[in-house]
Chain A
Amino acid sequence: MNDQLSAPAVDVIVLGAGMAGLVAAVRLAEAGLRVTTVAKGYGSLRLSPATIDILGYRPDPVDSPAQALPDFAAAHPEHPYARISPATLAEAVQWLKEHVGTYAYVGDPDTNMLLPTALGVPRPSAVVPETMAAGDLRSAGPLVIAGIGVLKDFHPALVAENLEAATAARGRAVKARPVLLNPPANGQADVGAMALARRFEDAAFRRAVAAELRAAVAGEEAIGLPAVLGLDQARSVWTELQQATGRPVFEIPTPVPPSVPGMRLARALQDRLRRAGGRFVLGAEAAGPELRHSELVGVRIRAAARVTPRTCRWVVLATGGLSAGGIEVDVSGTASERALGLPVHAPGPGEAGFLPGYLSDHPMETAGLRVDSSLRPVGPDGEPVYENVYAAGAVIGGARPWREKSGDGISLSTGYLAAEAILKEAG
């Protein structure tokens, strides 16, 4: 009905609402472009601890991501970081800090903090929510790790014991001991992270928790809690607990989704998008490019009842990697890119995509798009498939995000760079 139109309906269609997609969309919308984000569901940012891990392991440990990145990029020319300059990274981090709003992100690309995981492993992370920073094991004093009885996704005893052993092995032992809190839970035995986060936004609940904590802490201990300290009110919940206990309090990300810190960040960015006038179409999916004389003039969008072409000037492809389904592998072992059908760099059918050892370097791990220096997906000849399509996030191949500890850093910086590339063209 609307395809006689010559002027595109919007400037940019952003496919995907994870970190990369939201960062790009917000940046573009705030610069005044008309942006529509199309997402087939909520992005995997809501599953992520939302610490900005830039680079943690090379595989040897990295103390300063900013310093390590140039050599790392040179050694891995197909890695997304090979397209990211230190300046872009710094700008992207700064941009995020300014755009979260509900609470602050602290840290910078020059230094990795070491934050305890829910197994007590010190994990390198560069830029983290302020609610987590006091857990930095490089400088932490004695810790009390407080679990909450009704939350099955956090085991303080395991955290404390492993934390002590791990820090001792690294040369600076941090003492840690577990306690278990049992605040009022309305008779529920099984309360998930999200529900608990909402409870923390209730003043009476907070008071009960603070009272238990005060009775439990000793000496100079700082308090580690699972990352459930409020949803949109995280800053005030965390501040109040610190005041009420007189101690530094820090959150430890819970391992099992959904992630409360991830929710906070996703909601904050989605809110910014809405206020910047960006449109958000949920539950729709890209069904291929809309071409005119082999130029991409839009995206075919599958919604209820129909596939409709939506025209645009640029596309940001941020549909995610193998876990989100942006890159898929069928039963024969063939990898493909789901939204636009772009060529994927991956082991083919008949080639081993996975190796027997669990922690091996599986060839399929790095499957994804290859991109040029502007993040445009390229074909086997190295040339962009479409002049006006930019990729961001896990859909770009070449990385091993879980083992490098680089996932959010890649998403943030490539989302930022993709937007920048488009803004340059838009003039």
Chain B
Amino acid sequence: MEEGRDPHVRLGRVAATASAAAECEVLVIGGGSTGVGVARDAAMRGFSTILVERGDLATGTTGRFHGLLHSGGRYAVKDPQAARECIGENIILRRIAADCIEDTGGLFVTTPIDDPQYADRFIAGCQDTGVPAEEIPVAEALRREPRLNPRITRAFVVPDATADAWKTVWTCARSATEYGARILPYHEVVAVTKDGDQVTGILARRPDGEQVQIRAQVTVNAAGAWAGRIAALAGCQVNISPGKGIMMATNHRLVQTVVNRCEMPADGDILVPIRTVSVIGTTDIRTEDPDHWEITRAEIDQMLESGENLVPGFTAARMLRVWGGVRPLFQDHAPADTRDVTRAHAVLDHRKRDGVAAFLTITGGKFCTFRLMAQDVVDTVCTVLGTTRASRTADEPLPDSQERRFYTLGSRLAERERTLTDEQLICECELVRRGRLEDEMSRRPAPSLDDLRRALRLGMGPCQGGFCMYRAAGILHQLKHLSAAEADQALVAFLEERWKGVYPLLHGDQLREAWLDDWIFQGVLDVEHLPRAAPALPREAGPRETATGRAT
């Protein structure tokens, strides 16, 4: 289903604001892929459901990785359990979420720095875990991907794919809403309320600063890298060790297939073609605080080198931006009790672990197993609530995926062909039509330009918002009846946010672009001297969205 031909727009808003105290059966904390997956599954099973997320949906780990939908090949040797889950869910997601997925396929290649022996272990591991892998001649791999390192010695084809994380999350959220769930981004959990040793819900801070109470029969902690903090609010212990990794996006796709190093999982071993860019990732550095960390020059150089190993000339390619994400690594301090050894993720029932009832944590896992994770924790919710309701998420397609047609790279280009003279193109780099932008603005109470960026890829192309953000700010001003001061602030906030991901790596073509953008915003529009009449919007509350990067 093409984007924009959205039959669900008439249902109105997906995201909402809690107006007063609210009640539900299932409360989900965390709006990443796991959280919205839980909300959808619970709502589909007929539970009244509310989801709260302190920022925009998918601004935790989900929105910050490269978009790879694993075939499982990466784990075939190191973690067979994970590999089995990946391939299982890969097949299911292709069935139910085709519109969010591009069937790029994947290659595992033995590069000059890889252990040549690993390839045999790789193919054996794939056979054992059910990951389809087929060896092809190196010449064939190079024909398919002309930019690949010509010195590779072996190549295998696997069914890797890529998924648009934001699209997946928002489509799940939309589906959840259709089943009656309420999705509340920009609602930060301030406290977990209890009655004795039973969790009764939360106190959340709304975007306008007011606090609102949400009561729930069961509360599910799906807060990812922040799950430990949420658990602590409930008096429970969940040891999350945040692992930071950085990624970089090139201006255009250097490869059309996912390229993996045929080696034990290592830093910078994947180059992913996702939408209009390719992303190299990632590093793995322990950090204390999932909200405050750095992007270092050493990591940037490491990723450049990794890219160069896969695609010679990578270092000379134009880089759009660098960003980081934090993986939630769960370290179970009480393994025997609750961890299901057949699973790579864990559902923690805190009644058993910490003596706190009506509180569950879902942790571990990866993006590609989010549906399974959601299914497992909602199964446990059923047990807690004393009812038996089966999940249908493995079979029921997400909205727009009913026809099981994969997303294709050219889809927005094809769509624009049909509207060349009918509609204004707001973001030219990523081909975002005005109607699409206005629909998205209508779906949320008070979207920031960054929210719109994530949902639509507005400003994610080469100009990084230079050309489209003035246009978008003007449309936002009109459509949402903002004051000019609010629209100005939205624009300036976007510029500052964008700069964070751009300046650590600014050189060459992207530097020229940044200078042209500065000309537009500073020289011609003079944003520096905008009148500042209104106070700061509550929009600024929420997670730090990118690192305090520094060239060190």
Contacts and interface: CB of A to CB of B under 8 A. Distances in A.
| A and B in direct contact, judged by CB atoms within 8 A | yes
30 contacts: A117-B524, A119-B530, A121-B529, A152-B426, A155-B470, A155-B473, A155-B478, A157-B477, A157-B484, A158-B487, A158-B488, A161-B484, A162-B488, A168-B531, A188-B421, A189-B424, A190-B421, A255-B521, A256-B520, A322-B511, A323-B518, A324-B512, A329-B511, A333-B551, A354-B551, A358-B495, A358-B496, A402-B519, A402-B522, A403-B528
Interface in B454-494: 467, 470-471, 473-475, 477-478, 483-485, 487-488, 491
Contacts, number: 151
B519 A323 contact: yes
A405 interface: yes
B526 A123 contact: yes
Contacts of B421: 187-190
Contact of B508 (A47, A321, A331): A331
Interface string B501-537: 0011011100110011011111111111111010000
Given A152-B434, A155-B473, A352-B550, 10 more contacts: A119-B491, A155-B470, A155-B471, A155-B474, A169-B531, A332-B507, A354-B506, A359-B522, A359-B528, A405-B526
B530 A355 contact: no
Interface of A is mostly: loop
Interface in A217-262: 253, 255-257
Contacts of B520: 255-257
A165 B520 CA distance: 21
Interface of A: 47-49, 57, 117-123, 150, 152-153, 155, 157-158, 161-162, 165-166, 168-169, 187-190, 253, 255-257, 321-325, 328-333, 352-359, 364, 401-403, 405, 407
The winner among B423, B499, B521, B524 for most chain A CB atoms within 10 A is B524
Contacts of B475: 155
Q: What are the 5 A-B residue pairs with the smallest beta carbon separation, nearest first?
A: A155-B474, A161-B484, A323-B515, A402-B522, A402-B523
Contacts of B551: 333, 352-354
A325 B533 CA distance: 38
A415 to B, nearest CB: 18
Interface in B201-229: none
Contact of A165 (B434, B471, B485, B500): B485
A144 B477 CA distance: 18
A386 to B, nearest CB: 26
B53 to A, nearest CB: 26
Contacts of A118: 470, 524-525
A334 B142 CA distance: 33
A162 B316 CA distance: 42
A20 to B, nearest CB: 15
Nearest to B552: A352
B348 to A, nearest CB: 38
A321 B548 CA distance: 28
A119 B527 contact: yes
Given A152-B471, A356-B500, A333 B530 contact: no
Contacts of B287: none
Given A120-B484, A190-B425, A331-B507, A158 B524 contact: no
A125 to B, nearest CB: 10
Nearest to B502: A354
A158 B516 contact: no
B249 interface: no
Interface in B297-322: 304, 315-316
Contacts of B521: 255
A152 B423 CA distance: 11
Contacts of A188: 421
Contacts of B496: 357-358
B275 to A, nearest CB: 23
Contacts of B531: 121, 162, 165-166, 168-169
B355 to A, nearest CB: 45
A354 B503 contact: yes
A13 B210 CA distance: 67
B325 interface: no
Contacts of B526: 117, 119, 121, 123, 405
Contact of B525 (A121, A161, A257): A121
B549 interface: yes
Interface string B68-85: 000000000000000000
Contact of A189 (B423, B487, B507, B522): B423
A330 B424 contact: no
Contacts of A321: 515
B471 to A, nearest CB: 5
Contacts of B508: 328-331
A135 to B, nearest CB: 14
B422 interface: yes
Contacts of A403: 522, 528
A402 B516 CA distance: 10
A255 B471 CA distance: 10
Contacts of B519: 47-48, 323, 402, 407
A329 B508 CA distance: 5
A152 B522 contact: no
A303 to B, nearest CB: 23
A325 B510 CA distance: 11
Given A118-B525, A329-B508, A402-B523, A47 B516 contact: yes
A188 B503 CA distance: 38
A253 B474 contact: no
B523 A401 contact: yes
B488 A119 contact: yes
Contact of A158 (B422, B484, B500): B484
B459 to A, nearest CB: 13
A153 B484 contact: no
B523 A155 contact: no
Contacts of B471: 152-153, 155, 256
Contact of B470 (A47, A119, A190, A355): A119
A393 to B, nearest CB: 14
A212 to B, nearest CB: 19
B100 to A, nearest CB: 28
Nearest to B523: A402
Nearest to B485: A165
Contacts of B483: 161
Contacts of A359: 522, 528
B477 A158 contact: yes
A255 B470 contact: yes
Given A153-B471, A157-B478, A162 B507 contact: no
A255 B495 CA distance: 15
Contacts of A161: 483-484
Given A119-B526, A256-B520, A356-B549, A331 B422 contact: no
Nearest to A407: B523
A356 B548 contact: yes
Nearest to B549: A356
A344 B378 CA distance: 63
A354 B518 CA distance: 13
A255 B531 CA distance: 18
A255 B469 CA distance: 11
B243 to A, nearest CB: 24
B529 A323 contact: no
Interface in B401-439: 421-426, 434
Contacts of A355: 503
Contacts of A401: 523
Contacts of B315: 331
A193 to B, nearest CB: 12
A321 B511 CA distance: 11
